[in-house]
A and B are shown apart, each in its own frame.
Chain A
Amino acid sequence: MFILTEMKNVIRIPPEYFHIKLNYAIADELNKKLANKVMLNVGLCIALFDITNIKESYILPGDEASHTGVTFRYIVFRPFIEEILLGKIRSCSQEGVHISLGFFDDILIPPTALQHPSRFDETEQAWVWQYDMGDGNKHDLFMDAGESIRFKVTAEVFQETCPSGPALSETRDSIEAKVPYLIKGSINEPGLGLLSWWNN
């Protein structure tokens, strides 16, 4: 679920932080820059793990701050494909079931990856697994918001969200809807889905 990523950067420390020890000042700056941000093709940055190398600091002409080259390792949320994760249902929509881990919300189970056969209940706004009882009767298993759910990671989609210039009015909607890091999951295997389905 979590990995360590090694990165390198030059950190600018403004004079108001000169009274703090250099390594603490660098750690603060790195966390300010990266914590809770999605990095393209890396994952969701959580917190600094450690600093592995600090080079000499230098001052550039015309800039009062000091600049220091550092190598560091950062904790990143990046589940591997096929990993089994536990989350909570955030909501259901025509697009599928949206799942949240509390700190990460962009997880989607598309309708094709739900237990078969499933249908979307418009009045309840929930997906329903029409479980076959084996005697010709069907039992409706609702997937309500807030329920704990076990799912398998099947795909990850990274998207560049940087502003790429003035947006035209008709394309604005699509830009706002951009998700930097989307995880796609599936629950169409025995054992996956709501925890209460498999308790017995």
Chain B
Amino acid sequence: MEIINTKVATLSNFEVMNHLQNVKEGKKRNKGQLATITYETLRYLESTPCKHQTPESIENCLKALKHYNLTKNEKLMLINTPPITPLEIQLMVEESEERLTEEQVEEILQIITEHFPHVRKIEAEVEEEVEGT
């Protein structure tokens, strides 16, 4: 096995999930390790917010985030694990206190909720579960 390029591109969780779903459905003769890793990875990804994302919602969200001068990796994290609190943005965006104003952080949170409205719903469900038990 010869490695030409370790990192040709970065994939978002949604792209991986989409591809694995096709792998799983496309062929019935999948067996062994491929079946194992596809099943386990899909189970993880389908428990994250990327389950309800669409190519359009991701694209529109990225367009809206264009003006905030974020790096590729930062935007990738915002898409993979959409934040709902300013604290999470602080974690994902390096030196966010200096690079973003409080209003901008609020705007980013607004953009995320606008394009991925299910994120807040999931959070609400989790809280209900916690309260219920």
Q: Is B13 touching A6 in the complex (CB atoms < 8 A)?
A: no
Given A1-B80, A47-B37, A86-B48, residue A192 in contact with residue B4 (CB < 8 A): no
Q: Is B19 touching A49 in the complex (CB atoms < 8 A)?
A: yes
Once bound together, how far apart are the Cα atoms of A80 and B73, in whole Å?
9
Closest residue of chain A to B5 (Cβ to Cβ) is A6
Q: Is A112 an interface residue (CB 8 A)?
A: no
Q: Is B10 touching A2 in the complex (CB atoms < 8 A)?
A: yes
CB < 8 Å neighbour of B4 from A71, A77, A78, A199: A71
Chain A interface bracket (under 10, 10 to 19, 20 to 34, 35 or more): 35 or more
Q: Is A51 an interface residue (CB 8 A)?
A: no
In the assembled complex, which residues on chain A have CB atoms less than 8 Å from the CB atom of B13? Answer: 1-2
26 A-B residue pairs with Cβ-Cβ distance under 8 Å, sorted by A, are A1-B16, A1-B80, A2-B15, A2-B16, A4-B8, A5-B7, A7-B1, A8-B1, A8-B4, A35-B36, A37-B33, A39-B3, A46-B41, A47-B20, A47-B37, A47-B38, A75-B11, A82-B94, A83-B73, A85-B81, A86-B48, A102-B41, A103-B41, A191-B87, A196-B130, A199-B130
Q: Is A32 an interface residue (CB 8 A)?
A: yes
Q: Is A22 an interface residue (CB 8 A)?
A: no
Chain A, interface SS category: mixed
Given contacts A150-B91, A191-B85, 19 further A-B contacts (CB under 8 A): A1-B16, A2-B12, A3-B8, A3-B11, A4-B9, A5-B6, A6-B3, A7-B1, A8-B2, A9-B1, A32-B33, A35-B38, A36-B33, A39-B1, A47-B19, A47-B38, A71-B4, A103-B40, A189-B91
In the assembled complex, which residues on chain A have CB atoms less than 8 Å from the CB atom of B41? Answer: 46, 77, 102-103
Q: Is B37 touching A35 in the complex (CB atoms < 8 A)?
A: yes
Q: Is A15 an interface residue (CB 8 A)?
A: no
Once bound together, how far apart are the Cα atoms of A175 and B34, in whole Å?
26
Q: Is A101 touching B73 in the complex (CB atoms < 8 A)?
A: no
Once bound together, how far apart are the Cα atoms of A101 and B77, in whole Å?
16
Given A1-B80, A83-B73, residue A152 in contact with residue B91 (CB < 8 A): yes
B26 to chain A, nearest CB (A): 10
Given A101-B44, A103-B41, A198-B87, residue A36 in contact with residue B6 (CB < 8 A): no
Closest residue of chain B to A85 (Cβ to Cβ) is B81
In the assembled complex, which residues on chain A have CB atoms less than 8 Å from the CB atom of B4? Answer: 6-8, 71
Chain B interface bracket (under 10, 10 to 19, 20 to 34, 35 or more): 35 or more
Chain B, interface SS category: helix
A64 to chain B, nearest CB (A): 22
In the assembled complex, which residues on chain B have CB atoms less than 8 Å from the CB atom of A78? Answer: 7
Q: Is B34 touching A31 in the complex (CB atoms < 8 A)?
A: yes
A:2-52 near B, CB below 8 Å: 2-9, 28, 31-37, 39, 41-42, 46-47, 49
Q: Is A84 an interface residue (CB 8 A)?
A: yes
Once bound together, how far apart are the Cα atoms of A77 and B13, in whole Å?
10
Given A9-B1, A190-B87, A191-B87, residue A4 in contact with residue B7 (CB < 8 A): yes
